[in-house]
Structure 1
């Protein structure tokens, strides 16, 4: 079945609305709630306001679409088109005043991640992809995104957000891969995937992801020439253990290491 894409202009509208709701709260003394008993999973008024602004636009423009959102739950997940929203991916960085966070806007159609955008309101950057191409806009202008060649882990720049996201077994597996990489960096959340798409880094390995953490980023990585799968090579759309590579040769190597 042929999929009729949503215009990038509508993604920009959603990003504009989220930005207007979120950015007034960045680097302010805002209250932080904890969503997870026994651990720390922060949420702020910025998260809630950003998602609500996007939901209102989607509901008005596409009332027959479903929504999977981090802050306000799910509706119509059995529909052909489902929006997957994370208003502030990287809330820990947000509340610490570090601009390594972003608004994730993803669209699933027929069960596949077909379009996605990561928007960073503070820097004014946006990374967009539709699975076949990807683009950047920001202070440096506009350009196409393309991953860079990297055929071996020994030459790779690797990202993960936090070692605390791994269980003991997965942490040991990840660290075995990290030891073979040229450079490892932490705490970038969605920015890490965008840097792979932009050809600035080569690899992201994570665990414990939710669908709203990854759906928007899949079309960006794939559109730039990269690969995103689970650690076993399956679909990453439901989150869990995810690996994203800029070079398909590197991806195959890393999958063997992760297994």
Structure 2
């Protein structure tokens, strides 16, 4: 066996990189492939909807799980496509093989592979990987790093001042319930610019100092744990809409600074 059994941060990060590399290899042959089909996980559910899953999603999670089975058999796993596998170590790898499958199907390079290592207090390591562009955002273990076409450099959120100068992202214009939408609009009316449809890439841009706020609802743990670790390592803050931990998903508010977070939180609470 290799040295991945150690639970020190360097070993954790090396294993996470290995998993992200394996996911890239599994996914890229299918991206922008003619005739790629998708199953609808919402088919037959009340209210309908379209929640796609492709062969690429499944292949990437299988590849990551195989690495964990070999090198960390005692760790738990929580993946979007294959559910939860209990562990005995007190540590769980939280995996979303393609966050943004709708974007993947549409050919936009805004989807990503999400990998988080979670302990009792929440995620301690996160990776947001965009295989097609070749960008990887890592946070945890004393690191906040970006690697991509322009090399490797440190991640860091920016401080642009107040809400009136902020750029805000969310994935869906129809965010959450009607009440959620009203609360989101209370914030969106105060910022400089609102953009939609970026999935996990919006969180990566926040950690890289390109945008200032991400507000979403209806998330699962595997949607948010990796972004939490990356953004917090870069100096930002991520909570639910009440200011509490959001490790298990739900309604998330990610902000570049404490002041922006407090201002957005006040508006969300007031509207709700």
Fold similarity call, TM over 0.5: yes
Match of 2:153 in 1: 143
Deviation at 1:77, TM superposition (A): 6.1
Deviation at 1:150, TM superposition (A): 2.7
The alignment status of 1:9 with 2:11, answered yes or no, reads no
Match of 2:200 in 1: 190
Aligned counterparts, 1:167-246, within 5 A:
167-246=177-256
Q: Separation in 2 of the partners of 1:230 and 1:133?
A: 24
Match of 2:65 in 1: 55
Match of 1:68 in 2: 78
Q: Separation in 1 of the partners of 2:26 and 2:78?
A: 19
**Do 1:150 and 1:250's aligned partners in 2 also have CA atoms closer than 8 Å?**
no
Of 32, 36, 39, 1:30 maps to 36
Provide the secondary structure at the position in 1 that maps to 2:174.
helix
Deviation at 1:132, TM superposition (A): 4.4
Deviation at 1:109, TM superposition (A): 1.3
**5+ long unaligned stretches in structure 1:** none
**Do 2:74 and 2:87's aligned partners in 1 also have CA atoms closer than 8 Å?**
no
Q: Separation in 2 of the partners of 1:188 and 1:78?
A: 36
Provide the secondary structure at the position in 1 that maps to 2:94.
strand
**Do 2:74 and 2:88's aligned partners in 1 also have CA atoms closer than 8 Å?**
no
Deviation at 1:165, TM superposition (A): 3.5
Change (3 A) 1:91 1:126: same
Q: Separation in 1 of the partners of 2:59 and 2:52?
A: 15
Deviation at 1:156, TM superposition (A): 0.3
Of 56, 74, 96, 2:106 maps to 96
Provide the secondary structure at the position in 2 that maps to 1:229.
strand
Q: Separation in 2 of the partners of 1:64 and 1:78?
A: 5
Count, aligned residues: 257
Q: Separation in 2 of the partners of 1:148 and 1:233?
A: 20
TM-score (norm 1): 0.96
Q: Separation in 1 of the partners of 2:221 and 2:87?
A: 12
CA RMSD of aligned residues (A): 1.3
